[in-house]
Structure 1
Amino acid sequence: MTDLPRKAVARTARLAALPLGYAGRSAIGLGKRIGGAPAEVVMTELQQRTAEQLFKTLGELKGGAMKFGQAMSIFEAALPEELAAPYREQLTRLQDSAPPMPTITVRQILAEELGAEADRLSDLDAEPAAAASIGQVHRARWDGEEVAVKVQYPGAGDALRNDLKQLARVARGLGPVFPGIDVKPLVTELQERAEEELDYRLEAEAQRVFAAEYAGDPAIVVPEVRAGTEKVLVSSWLDSPASLAQVIREGTQAERDHYGERFVRFLFGAPARTGMLHADPHPGNFRLVPEPDGSPGRLGVLDYGAVARFEERALPASLGSLIRIACMDDYDSLVTALRDEGFIREKINVDAEKLRSYLGPFVEPASTPEFTFSRAWMQDQFKRVNDPKGDAYSVMLRLNLPPSYLLIHRTWVGGVGVLSQLGATVPFRQVLTESLPGFAG
């Protein structure tokens, strides 16, 4: 059947069973409805059980499975409320946690990776402070300084590759779990960046650049790198009580607005300062650093394994120009500009009025001094563009996303998803004017 190790075969089987499990529960739900159970009760039960199985499986498997789950958790705000409500707890749980590996395994990896420098580590906490898709973080000391030690799970590389390969195969079957979201391109993009994220040396290199640029910044904190090998990354400890996930769950409006603005300013401002875009915007990577009196303070930013590097050390000016033209409501010119940039292929015709119907609501945040993002707004956009009878749907099918924009697009959509979960009111137009080349003209 396969030459994969037994554990890999078991992982593959569990992933393959996800769409089958949904189909089976759907059949049971249909049977209950025929038997007289109210449709809304059956659907709620079906969604809850599906969420529990899906995200419990993804979280326990770690690797590409959990990475996929974390990526999907960003889009929770886009799901219709009747679907999102049962999933929300399971989705957001993936943003902050995963089952840990044994301490003895952690110590073995540290000895192998750090060699003689392992002696510089002391007071390693047995319990991980955080865990993610391919590694977990422990609190320790490095030459007496408090540090965060990120250790990659044994076999993480093979698990990541195999999980993403299997998820690519079953992506179509996961469609009913995420209505309105095209899962397959997301998995493909995760596959393309897997090798880079597995090498912590590349992450250390990127984090050093961000840390140097944001040293002493009044709004953003980036931990400094102390050591980096292929499978171990040692950074200064960031004293933070929680992540953006907590603000999403229970934050005041003032906290939502405060951290939402810092989040969006970092997302758009970092490329001009570092030449890189932080491309993993799920809430667990953004930590709260309150002021001494407990009031909202700086935003700590973690995890530089996924970054987009720009030769021009900035986001493409053409992107800012396209958004500016759309905000001017000049959709005839926008059709021409999109064609010049490769968003509309040769011999493909796009009607300017239908393009306005598609893009108009998306550029609304950039058209006003302040904009309040919300789940309702994002749900409306997903519902609108996925209505086969609407103009937006037909235009969406005609547009092309050039390869150079793929990671930017995913990051921006993810960032908007986080802002919508936060329900934050932010000066979005001002941020674009200050940070996005080409937007101000």
Structure 2
Amino acid sequence: MANDTSKPSSNKQSIDNLKTSGFERRMSIAKTSLNIGRRWAGNSVSGMFLNKEARTARNQAFMEAQANYLASELGKLKGSVVKIGQMLAIYGEHILPPEITRALQTLNDDTATLSWPTIELTLRELLGEKLNELDVDPTPIGTASLAQVHRATVIATGEQVVLKIQYPGVADAINSDLALFKQLLKVSNIVPQTRSLDAWFEEIRDLLHHEVDYEAEAMTTERFYDRLSHDPRYVVPKINRTYSKKRLLCMSYEPGITVVSEALQLLPHERRNAIGQAAIEVMMKEIFVWGEMQTDPNFGNYLVRVSDSDDGIDKLVLLDFGAIREFDNHLLTIAHGLLKAGYRHDHQAMKLAMRGYDFFDSMSEKVRSDIASLFLLATEPFSDPATNLNIPADCLDKNNRYIWANSKLHSRLSSAATRAMQSFEFNLPPKEFMFISRKFIGAYTFLTVLDAYTDSNKLVKPYL
């Protein structure tokens, strides 16, 4: 969640409390379920006399409307219901209709703020008399589905900090929210109830319980702070333990501009290249050195601190270490083999690298070959241009650096993946690969927005 330097919106709605009691949330979701169920029945009856083509078009439009209504109602609840919807939008492409995915992608963290008296009461309950040591700005600088961020000053030292304050009751509502969300999908008949869906709900449950544990997030943030403190290209907030609790995180205020800000686009191209290279390098270290990854590729989790001088170093500010996933050595060995094969653009090596992982081993030879081709395409930006003659000519500059904005890689991958899925006995990919894949898609988007050029040799050779 960004502690951006921009001013918070003054016209944002403020509310005095959240519907965090099980009864309130059940009533709200039950009403949504009832309305969707009623509409679904009405649509089925009124479409009985249409021909097949007209009925298909009508059902698609109806599904779109239902999905948007679902997202709209969920957005009013805040808390983990919103987060569940967002996670399903991110990781559910393989199990949800596209209309649902698109609608859930509209769920926005930046909704109504919790009023200052309620936040102050929460802080008083968490900190007691220690709250008197802080001068807290009552206007939040950021809101999310699970928490709200306020700037503060430590009165004795003048230290500028931010307080990430978890909304009261959201942690206790996670399990019931998940049950309600599953029931809503079941009643609305929007999504087929499968074991894959059950497995994803269990994964989301684990992720959410981890994300509301700010003691765990504090430790993770400190690990990343130690890892990157000697590299001038990165800034990680420093945790202030004096004012941190299980439901409250206090850390240094780290200003910066957003990834999509115009000021960033106006930087000289080589400086943007350096920022892009730094962003992708830290992702490589997460997978191949540290074995744990920040799995939320949201732009709000990054800021850029632009240097005042032309020859200074622009810094990437890394925020929000709540959605961290650890990977075991077996998976990391597989991933390392896939990267090595991708760098050399070697189809046979890619197939060999896939061995030893149940998901790939259960595939037929034809399917494994198709997936290997898909992985070769996915690793195009990390391949050696001297070996990979399939890189489009307009995707390399004169120094053989990869031009992300010209690559259209996401759309090329999407169409290749769709073809591959149609050709075989497709099962939902392992969660770990979904996380890594989503992180790479986030990186593709980030580097495309920056219009950065990156050097695959510098990125990959250290890990070969």
User: What TM-score range do you get, normalising by the shorter chain?
Assistant: 0.7 to 0.9
Deviation per CA, 1:292-348: give whole Å up to 9, x if none: 369993221111112123576x982331212322454543443343232333235x4
Aligned to 1:13: 30
Contact between 1:12 and 1:163, CA under 8 Å: does it hold in 2? no
Do the aligned partners of residues 409 and 379 (structure 1) sit closer, same or farther apart at CA in structure 2, a change above 3 Å counting?
closer
> Letter of the aligned partner of 1:300 in structure 2?
V
Confirm or deny that 1:203 pairs with 2:217: yes
1:33-48 to 2 correspondences below 5 Å: none
What displacement does 1:408 show?
3.6
Where 2:460 maps in the other structure, the secondary structure is helix
Confirm or deny that 1:126 pairs with 2:138: yes
Tell me how far apart the structure 1 counterparts of residues 99 and 80 of structure 2 sit (CA, whole Å): 24
Of 456, 461, 464, which residue of structure 2 is paired with 1:429? 456
> Letter of the aligned partner of 2:122 in structure 1?
I
Confirm or deny that 1:109 pairs with 2:141: no
What displacement does 1:232 show?
0.5
Confirm or deny that 1:160 pairs with 2:174: yes
Tell me how far apart the structure 2 counterparts of residues 270 and 116 of structure 1 sit (CA, whole Å): 39
Do the aligned partners of residues 275 and 392 (structure 1) sit closer, same or farther apart at CA in structure 2, a change above 3 Å counting?
closer
Aligned to 2:323: 306
Q: How many residues align?
A: 409
Confirm or deny that 1:350 pairs with 2:365: yes
Aligned to 2:410: 378
Contact between 1:15 and 1:167, CA under 8 Å: does it hold in 2? no
Of 297, 308, 312, which residue of structure 2 is paired with 1:281? 297
Tell me how far apart the structure 1 counterparts of residues 437 and 188 of structure 2 sit (CA, whole Å): 22
Do the aligned partners of residues 68 and 404 (structure 1) sit closer, same or farther apart at CA in structure 2, a change above 3 Å counting?
closer
Decide which structure has the larger Cα Rg and report it: 2
Deviation per CA, 1:134-159: give whole Å up to 9, x if none: 11101111242111001111111133
Of 150, 155, 159, which residue of structure 2 is paired with 1:138? 150
What displacement does 1:209 show?
1.5
Stretches of structure 1 that go unaligned for 5 or more consecutive residues are none
Tell me how far apart the structure 2 counterparts of residues 424 and 77 of structure 1 sit (CA, whole Å): 26
TM-score by length of 1: 0.74
Tell me how far apart the structure 1 counterparts of residues 327 and 281 of structure 2 sit (CA, whole Å): 18
Where 2:137 maps in the other structure, the secondary structure is coil
> Letter of the aligned partner of 1:158 in structure 2?
D
Contact between 1:59 and 1:66, CA under 8 Å: does it hold in 2? yes
Stretches of structure 2 that go unaligned for 5 or more consecutive residues are 1-20, 386-400
What displacement does 1:286 show?
1.0
Where 1:287 maps in the other structure, the secondary structure is strand
Tell me how far apart the structure 2 counterparts of residues 302 and 210 of structure 1 sit (CA, whole Å): 10
> Letter of the aligned partner of 2:180 in structure 1?
Q
Tell me how far apart the structure 1 counterparts of residues 450 and 253 of structure 2 sit (CA, whole Å): 29
What displacement does 1:41 show?
13
Of 272, 278, 297, which residue of structure 2 is paired with 1:262? 278
1:163-242 to 2 correspondences below 5 Å: 163-170=177-184, 187-215=201-229, 217-227=231-241, 228-241=244-257
Do the aligned partners of residues 73 and 354 (structure 1) sit closer, same or farther apart at CA in structure 2, a change above 3 Å counting?
closer
Confirm or deny that 1:393 pairs with 2:422: yes
Where 1:156 maps in the other structure, the secondary structure is coil
Do the aligned partners of residues 318 and 41 (structure 1) sit closer, same or farther apart at CA in structure 2, a change above 3 Å counting?
closer
Deviation per CA, 1:228-256: give whole Å up to 9, x if none: 21111001111124x33547x99469487
TM-score by length of 2: 0.70
